[in-house]
């Protein structure tokens, strides 16, 4: 199995899954997800890993709160809403298994340090097709 050791920002999703070859509108409101979003736009050619949280009610997730399967996606369009959210259109590209999640710290507007997640050591995941049952005679 080929591994990719490229780092990408992790954008946390609640109660939604992005699949490969799908296009989905998203609203990003939490501060750490917005930081990962802007990191993706500015430094990663609009690519990020989108991962669903195990429990959607967790407001500030830790590493253990994410599933280990996510989707690499490309942000196609976005705009910033007046309600301090980011609305975007994302295209799912490839399903990946996440080996390592790291916390990254950054300084925001001369305030305290702020954390967002990134991932590296991604493994492509291939889904086997289910065999069709034989028809009864």
Question: b/e map of 80-113 (b: 16 or more CB within 10 Å)?
Answer: eeeeeebebebbbeebbebeebeebeeeeeeeee
Short-list 85, 75, 90, CA closest to 27: 85
Instruction: With residue 80 as reference, give the H or E element that holds it.
Output: strand 69-80
> How confident is the model at residue 66, as a pLDDT?
87
| pLDDT tens readout for residues 60-98 | 888 888 888 889 999 999 999 889 899 999 999 988 888
| pLDDT tens readout for residues 102-128 | 776 554 444 444 455 666 555 666 655
Euclidean distance between CA atoms 73 and 50, whole angstroms: 7
> How confident is the model at residue 4, as a pLDDT?
53
Give the chain's mean pLDDT.
Answer: 79
Q: Give the distance from CA 127 to its chain's centroid.
A: 19
8-124 folds as 2.30.130
Burial label for 4, CB within 10 Å (0-12, 13-18, 19+), is: middle
The sign one gets for the Cα dihedral 42, 43, 45, 49 is: negative
Euclidean distance between CA atoms 26 and 81, whole angstroms: 12
Statement: the pTM of the whole predicted model exceeds 0.75: yes
First to last CA, the chain: 41
């Amino acid at each position: 199995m080929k591994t990719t050791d490229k780092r990408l920002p992790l954008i946390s999703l609640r109660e939604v899954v992005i699949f490969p070859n799908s296009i989905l509108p998203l609203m990003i409101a939490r501060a750490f997800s917005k930081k990962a979003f802007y990191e993706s736009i500015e430094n990663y050619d609009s690519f990020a890993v989108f991962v669903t949280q195990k429990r959607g009610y967790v407001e500030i997730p830790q590493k253990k709160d994410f599933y280990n399967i996510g989707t690499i996606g490309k942000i196609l369009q976005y705009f910033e809403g007046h309600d301090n959210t980011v609305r975007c259109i994302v295209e799912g590209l490839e399903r990946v298994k996440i080996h390592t999640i790291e916390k990254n710290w950054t300084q925001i507007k001369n305030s305290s340090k702020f954390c967002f997640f990134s991932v590296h050591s991604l493994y492509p995941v291939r889904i086997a097709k289910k065999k069709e049952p034989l028809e009864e005679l």
